[in-house]
Amino acid sequence: MNRQGLLIVISGPSGAGKGTVCQRLLQRNQDLCLSVSCTTRPPRPGEQEGINYFFVDRPTFEQMIANNQLLEYARVYDNYYGTPLNYVQEKLAAGRDVILEIDIQGALQVKQKYPQGVLIFLVPPSLSLLKERLIKRGTDSPESIAGRLRCVYDELTNTGRYDYLVINDTVENAVDQIESIIKAEKCRPSRFNFDLREFLAC
């Protein structure tokens, strides 16, 4: 019985630990692959084409939008970011499970275009812990952190549109829960190319 790969979308508020959880998930599961996004911003030092991003110019990206070649996309400041549809489809068709680590806006776009995808909303145990994590990251100003925290409530109102909610109290616990979700989803009959007559003939 051939199985199409599973598309797992992980998103949540800034500071919820999405990147750390995804990195640990990939370390523990060598059969998973992380989707590579495309962007119109120039490469940063050390970034490699096809590994960190697919780097394209603005006209190319806008043509991809017009041709419906993106699973999801967003414009951030002056640059576009998006998930190439062909890249994901090829991995899934080969039976590979694909992880998308994207923002909430992108996740909801994926749900519309690929409803069989599994949407997981990752949250910290409390708002105070989220604030602590943002401060420890050291990448945001106090004003930026305050702005992000103000957005958290609006972001949390979207949890009902996801398939699962995972509380990231510790990275290992969060990864354990996500692995359990993946195992359960793979057992859904709708995900198998199951031929009953062929099965009974064996």
- Written as one letter, the residue type at 179 is E
pLDDT, average across residues 109-130: 89
C-beta atoms surrounding 79 within 10 Å? 13
Report the pLDDT value the prediction gives residue 196, as an integer from 0 to 100. 57
Annotated binding site for ATP: 12-19
- Name the more confident of 122 and 144: 122
Report whether pLDDT(6) > 60: yes
Nearest of 78, 60, 122, 79 to residue 70 by alpha carbon: 60
pLDDT, average across residues 44-52: 89
Annotated binding site: 12-19
Q: How confident is the model at residue 70 (pLDDT cuts 50, 70, 90)?
A: very high
- Per the CB < 8 A criterion, the answer to whether 54 and 38 are in contact is yes
Report whether pLDDT(20) > 70: yes
The alpha helices in the chain, defined as continuous H runs, are: 18-28, 58-66, 85-93, 104-113, 127-137, 142-156, 171-186, 196-201
- Name the more confident of 132 and 67: 67
- In the chain, the percentage of residues whose pLDDT exceeds 90 is 57
Give dist(CA 120, CA 177) in Å, integer: 10
Kindly tell me the sign of the dihedral angle through the C-alpha atoms of 31, 10, 183, 94: negative
Q: How confident is the model at residue 121 (pLDDT cuts 50, 70, 90)?
A: very high
Nearest of 77, 86, 108 to residue 35 by alpha carbon: 86
Query: For the chain, which domains are there?
Result: 7-35+96-200 (3.40.50.300)
What's the mean pLDDT when you consider all of the chain?
Answer: 88
Report whether pLDDT(154) > 90: no
Kindly tell me the sign of the dihedral angle through the C-alpha atoms of 69, 99, 16, 180: positive
Report the pLDDT value the prediction gives residue 2, as an integer from 0 to 100. 60
DSSP-assigned beta bridge partners for residue 8 = 99, 118
Report the pLDDT value the prediction gives residue 146, as an integer from 0 to 100. 75
